[in-house]
A and B are shown apart, each in its own frame.
Chain A
Amino acid sequence: MAVQLSTGRRGALWRDARVLAVAGQIVFVLAIVLLAALAYANMMRGLERLGLRLQLGFLSLEAGFGISEGIAYNPGDSYGRAFVVGVVNTLRVSVAGIILATVVGLLVGIGRLSSNWLIRFLSTVYVETFRNTPLLLQLIFWYTGVILKLPPVRQSLSVADRVYLNQRGVFLPRPVPSETFALWAWTLVACVAAAAAVYAWRRRVALREDRPGFPFAAAAGVLVAGAAISWFALPSAPLEWQVPVLQGFNFRGGIQLSPEFAALLLGLVLYTGAFIAEVVRGGIQSIPKGQWEAAQSLGLRPGMTMYLVILPQALRIIIPPVTSQYLNLVKNSSLSTAIGFPDMFNIGVTIMNQTGQSLPVFGLIMATYLSFSLVTALIMNWYNRRFRLVER
């Protein structure tokens, strides 16, 4: 036996394969530790030579620079507050981007498999164009090539003098609650309760009679109908529209989407959407043909086959790679630096430059992206577990 052979022969230690295997691992671990220690010592020596200190105290100092958009902030606030403004902006664009990219990806992914030649062709052109060009290029194209080419403020494109579009961004009317809003809000709450009851009832019916009851569609219908009826039944509309008006250099009031935000969102959604479309297509195509045929032989129409049979099975294949795309979207939002959207990375770089604290700020940025990504992954993994095929 091998054990006997190696112990029997009084060979030198460095010829023993088992000793060498263990020694190799020890050397490897030592090497890694040594490298890390060297890197750390080198960093500390460099910092000392430049007279820099590693601390986060600078975050409470006055920032002194302006930020174009985001939550309330003025140049007198601290660096910490400025960073938070950036974090919120990153979240804003990421959440909106993830939702819209999912919608685009789902529609185009199904479109790629459509029996209609035109839809299939257009979907393919979209996917291949946006998937195969660099995102940075696309962002700069949307920003300087499209949005900044819109007419100037004073010659804005307008839709019925309510919505304005110009190179300073998109300006929409903002709903403002009126005095009847409280009453309407309570009616809405009642509608939500009614919708929930309808959902439960339709679901029971569907299960009992073993046919699609469309519980979600029925509940949504109840909610919309209730909201609409109460809206018109009230003496005055519960929400009034605050229309943006041109005042001085810019539009005031209403909802404003800056050109930087619009370009970034557009770029991220179209880029990530193309990848998600491919994931969706792959997921659907991985469902055996027999499932389609079985559904058809039960008399389900193609739309229903997709909704009731194929998608639920495809989802468990789709979710893990789509999670990666979501994470990519969050991280790709840092490319906004190129088009001047004040996200966390952009503001972080500015702070780094004004304070010289490059290492702590880099650490802060990395930790924040990491926690965003971990939270996203956590939610998606939980969702994935719910949809996992239960082995019986």
Chain B
Amino acid sequence: MAQRRVWLLVTVVVGTVLTLASTAALAQQSTLDVVRARGHLVCGVNNGLPGFGYLESDGSWSGFDIDYCRAVAAAVLGDPNAVEFVPLTAAERFIALQTGEIDVLIRNATWTLVRDTDLGLNFAPVTFFDGQGFMVPRDLGVTSLEDLAGASICVTSGTTTELNLADAFRARGLPFTPVVFEEIDTVYRAYEQGRCDAVTSDKSQLAGRRAIMADPEAHVILDETISKEPLAPVVRHGDDRWYDVVSWVVYATFFAEEKGITSQNVTTFQSPDPDVQRFLGQTGGLGAMLGLSNDWAIKVIQAVGNYAEIFDRNLGPLGLPRGLNRQWTDGGLLYAMPFR
């Protein structure tokens, strides 16, 4: 009896040690290989932000960030639907990425120095240039930040918005009370119910949430913008191959718009432009250099379209202007690095 128990114990111990050792070995691999071996991408997203990341009532996912998850899956696995979406709150998102729970975080995250360095993260190219604003009930009669002196302001915890809010009011010497919630839904419900005089976030988010309020017309977004909010996909620091893949998927959507390549014409697109030929994988072998198939860019554009298509599909209905998010050729900030 005792003998059998001891052997059982030894087996369990050895088994555990081996399992741990193998997961540790796995952690050394590039996320690219891990995703490929797993057969699907695990993408950290928002589930409460219409236009960017939203879980529809029928259980499907939609949004600008969601489409970028699909684009990465299309490039790596050839299938835009091979994605597992993991909804995360603002406060959870970076820990989920650090611990390897997700492969990539595409959840309207602002690129900052602290996050880039101290949090051990790397930011892919910016997909949406945003700025922080304030939304107030129309009948409050507030037109500028100065009118909000002494107000209670709803904000999501663990965001840059929380810090900017404190900075902006401190710089102007205005008193205020932050009312901080972790869940995005709680923030806007509390605001709508009147717990706060104003709610602050990225302007795109304010527009997205206003669209699903009981009476969108009853709320106005103030003109003032108090910060720069460059929103970008995020990966773990120290995994350069994976970082390159995510970065170039983003550039591919910029480049396709620049060259007029759309989801409709990508398979038949013919051009004497050597840049375009390399992009489409007809020459140059760029895909192999990224560790992908040579038609990876075609897969991406086929799946989600170019940047303009992604923008119009998701953010068009919210009435958001392209603003800074136009091509560099139109005076915007979108600038794909050369495909060569």
Contact = CB atoms under 8 A, between A and B. Distances in A.
A149 B120 contact: no
Contacts of A27: 6, 9-10, 13
Most chain B CB within 10 A, of A153, A248, A338, is at A248
Contacts of A250: 150-152, 177
Nearest to B1: A17
B151 A350 contact: no
A50 B237 contact: yes
Interface string B142-157: 0000000111100001
B119 to A, nearest CB: 3
Contact of A168 (B99, B115, B152): B152
Interface string A274-317: 00000000000000000000000000000000000000000000
Interface string A127-161: 00000000000000000100011001100000000
A358 B163 contact: no
Given A27-B10, A249-B151, A51 B195 contact: no
Most chain B CB within 10 A, of A17, A168, A357, is at A168
Interface in B99-149: 99-100, 114-115, 117-120, 149
B180 interface: yes
Interface stretch (B55-63, B88-96, B204-212, B325-333): B88-96
A358 B237 CA distance: 16
A67 B183 CA distance: 17
A66 B165 contact: yes
Contacts of A30: 13
Contacts of B5: 24
A24 B162 contact: no
Interface string B175-191: 01111111100100110
Contacts of B9: 24, 27-28, 31
Nearest to A166: B194
Given A66-B176, A356-B98, A20 B6 contact: yes
Contact of A340 (B99, B167, B190, B193): B190
Contacts of B118: 52, 58, 355-357
Nearest to A260: B179
A152 B157 contact: no
B90 to A, nearest CB: 7
A20 B120 contact: no
Interface in B211-241: 236-238
Q: How would you classify the secondary structure of chain A's contact residues: helix, strand, loop or mixed? A: helix
Nearest to A259: B195
Contacts of A357: 118
Interface stretch (A34-42, A111-119, A210-218, A371-379): A34-42
Contact of A337 (B95, B151, B182, B237): B182
Contact of A45 (B13, B24, B162, B181): B24
A50 B120 contact: yes
B162 to A, nearest CB: 5
A49 B237 CA distance: 8
B193 A144 contact: yes
Contacts of B150: 247-250
Given A144-B193, A259-B195, A353-B90, A346 B157 contact: yes
Interface in B5-58: 5-6, 9-10, 12-13, 16-17, 20-21, 24, 27
Interface residues of B, number: 58
A353 B94 contact: yes
Nearest to B159: A353
A27 B167 CA distance: 57
Nearest to A350: B157
A352 interface: yes
Contacts of A66: 162, 165-166, 169, 176-178, 180
A354 B27 contact: no
A342 B157 CA distance: 10
Nearest to A148: B193
Contacts of A337: 182
A17 B3 CA distance: 7
B222 to A, nearest CB: 15
A51 B149 contact: no
B4 to A, nearest CB: 10
B2 A350 contact: no
Nearest to A151: B194
A321 B20 CA distance: 39
Given A31-B13, A346-B157, A358-B98, A167 B194 contact: yes
Contacts of B193: 144, 148-149, 167
Given A42-B24, A49-B238, A76-B170, A346 B119 contact: no
Nearest to A357: B118
Given A20-B3, A34-B17, A52 B166 contact: no
B130 to A, nearest CB: 19
Interface in A60-96: 64-69, 74-76
A129 B228 CA distance: 49
Given A24-B9, A46-B27, A356-B115, A14 B3 contact: yes
A23 interface: yes
Contacts of A20: 2-3, 6
Given A49-B120, A51-B117, A340-B182, 15 more contacts: A15-B3, A17-B2, A31-B13, A38-B20, A49-B237, A49-B238, A67-B178, A144-B189, A167-B195, A337-B182, A349-B91, A353-B90, A353-B95, A353-B157, A358-B98
Ranked 6 nearest A-B pairs via Cβ: A50-B120, A353-B158, A356-B119, A75-B166, A66-B178, A31-B13
Interface of A: 14-15, 17, 20-21, 23-24, 27-28, 30-31, 34-35, 38, 42, 45-46, 49-52, 58, 64-69, 74-76, 144, 148-149, 152-153, 167-168, 247-250, 259-260, 337-340, 342, 346, 349-350, 352-358
14 contacts: A20-B6, A45-B27, A50-B238, A51-B237, A65-B165, A68-B152, A69-B177, A144-B189, A248-B149, A346-B157, A350-B180, A352-B95, A356-B94, A358-B95
